[in-house]
Homo-oligomer: A and B are copies of this chain.
């Protein structure tokens, strides 16, 4: 009755508990040293004849020898593991970055631990320590402030830190702000509302300064009663919804809204709609990040894209570089990546009837 095929026996053999190097050595009538040299393709194995090497590889495969990772790690003082600190796992933002990090790290034979601090002070404080207890060889912090300096290569994405030993990967905020404002400006918008990021978000300040600069260059006035700030730390459009309501309640008219990120833009659109305003006919909305669902809003969300996946890849490349060639790469403190404006349906020319 071969209904369930006989994968079971085969599998359980091939996946059986691994034997030790010593056992393998005894089985072959060799010493563990020899096994080690051959398995690791050490140059010291040059004098070992091909035939013996093949015997070793064959037996290793047949007996399912897998070097004990802890032993190897202990001896070599390497863990081949990186720690990744993110605010949340559930956000489109962090997920994209992580996927870039993963690609790059696994390719190079590293694994990574992820921890998410959800902006809790105690976790922010403790997680780096926990990761160090686990002997990670480097840290990637995504949108996370690095208070203490850490005796490890650290790469920070969007969390600009002056701490020594930190390489920062940041977006060209000036260009990002200019892309968005210039787009709105050329559509005729002069009354533009802004949603700033939360205090804790490391991008908030830089982005805002860039907006101020761009506005100045364009000769655009920013009214303080058209500026509101996200509050709360759930990664939900709800926050954008609330802050947009506040803006609407302020009484000051606006024909365009530049949100801190796509998530809040999505919430804001809902608030606008509920207030009877059409997007983009009455109010144009620009988001930030270009998370996946931005494209599938109705209308599609015009947004400033951050190359999130690429930033993840870059971060991984950079930590590994700093781990394997500490001196040469120690100097690079700042890596800038470029934004891109993605124009979709949520922005349009200012309507003469209303503006």
Contact = CB atoms under 8 A, between A and B. Distances in A.
Interface of A: 4, 7-8, 11-12, 14-17, 66-71, 73-74, 79, 88-92, 95-96, 98-99, 102, 106, 111-116, 132-135, 147-151, 162-164, 235-237, 266-267, 269-270, 273, 292-293, 295-298
A112 B134 CA distance: 11
Contact of A297 (B96, B106, B297): B297
Contacts of A269: 298
A7 B148 contact: yes
Given A11-B148, A236-B292, A89 B69 contact: no
B148 A14 contact: yes
A112 to B, nearest CB: 7
A116 B89 contact: no
Name, among A66, A88, A106, A114, the residue most crowded by chain B CB atoms within 10 Å (CB to CB).
A114
Given A11-B149, A74-B74, A102-B114, 13 more contacts: A8-B163, A11-B163, A70-B70, A70-B74, A71-B74, A90-B92, A90-B95, A95-B95, A114-B114, A237-B292, A237-B295, A266-B293, A297-B298
A174 to B, nearest CB: 25
Tell me what chain A mostly uses at the interface: helix, strand, loop, or mixed: mixed
A8 B164 contact: yes
A74 B7 CA distance: 32
Given A111-B134, A267-B296, A12 B98 contact: no
A108 to B, nearest CB: 13
Nearest to A237: B296
With most chain B CB atoms within 10 A of its CB, the pick from A17, A134, A162, A267 is A134
B115 A102 contact: yes
20 contacts: A11-B148, A11-B149, A12-B164, A15-B132, A15-B149, A68-B135, A69-B133, A69-B134, A70-B73, A70-B135, A71-B74, A73-B73, A89-B98, A90-B96, A102-B115, A102-B116, A112-B114, A270-B298, A273-B298, A298-B298
Nearest to A16: B151
Contacts of A74: 68, 70-71, 73-74
A117 B235 CA distance: 26
A106 B99 contact: no
A68 B74 CA distance: 8
Ranked nearest first, the 3 interchain pairs of A and B with the lowest CB-CB distance are A70-B74, A70-B73, A11-B148
B8 A149 contact: yes
A296 B298 CA distance: 10
Nearest to A162: B4
A157 B196 CA distance: 38
A263 B8 CA distance: 36
A76 B69 CA distance: 13
A70 B79 contact: yes
A134 B68 CA distance: 8
A146 to B, nearest CB: 10
